[in-house]
Amino acid sequence: MSQIRPAASHTGPAFAVGSGFDVYPVVWKVFREAGVALRGSEPATLGLDPEPETLRQWNLDNLNGYWRRWADGASRGKPPTSPFTPSRWVRAWAVLGAPRLHRTLATAEVISKEQAGVYAMDTFGPRWSRVIDDALAYWRAEPEPPGPSASERLADAAAFVREVIRSANAIAGS
């Protein structure tokens, strides 16, 4: 049973006691290892346990749940996002987000989205270089590279996310 429990959270104007999506093993680990105290004790002295097995299972569950649903919707041209979200952002967020979880499963490290792009290039190889290059270009505020239509790029992003999920399950022995 995890000791990681949310006390309260807020999103925009909404405040909730006893809940919070932002309290989960990845945040716990980052807070313990890289948190900055604005007031009070340094995070490293608080006795936080990032619960490595919980962290691993949380990432695997997130890939098999949220990210698989994302890939299913994206492959039909309908990723689960707001209609006001630019499609290039949606693709970059997924193509760089899923490999972050993969890397955590593989190494227990939590990395940035840009680092995830470099990791994805090294891990998943040249077959996926166009979709990863496209995501990194967006993240770096560079122009969109020439290539297929937005809908084709979305389908490619969905296929890539599925490959990341497949590989993560192989690492986990699932």
Shared domain for 24 and 76, answered yes or no, is no
Contact 120, 130 (CB under 8 A): no
- Please report the sign of the dihedral spanned by the C-alpha atoms of residue 156, residue 145, residue 89, residue 130: positive
Would you say residue 52 has pLDDT above 90? Answer: no
pLDDT at 11: 65
Shared domain for 100 and 161, answered yes or no, is yes
Average pLDDT, the chain: 87
**How many helices (H) does the chain have, and how many strands (E)?**
7, 2
Contact 114, 139 (CB under 8 A): yes
Contact 153, 134 (CB under 8 A): yes
Is 106 among the domain residues? Answer: yes
Give the total number of structural domains in the chain.
Answer: 2
Question: Which has more pLDDT, 23 or 58?
Answer: 58
Shared domain for 15 and 57, answered yes or no, is no
Q: What is the mean pLDDT of residues 119-137?
A: 96
Is 1 among the domain residues? Answer: no
The domain containing residue 134 runs over which residues?
52-172
Is 18 among the domain residues? Answer: yes
pLDDT digits (tens, 9 = 90+) for 131-168: 999 999 999 999 998 889 988 999 999 999 999 999 99
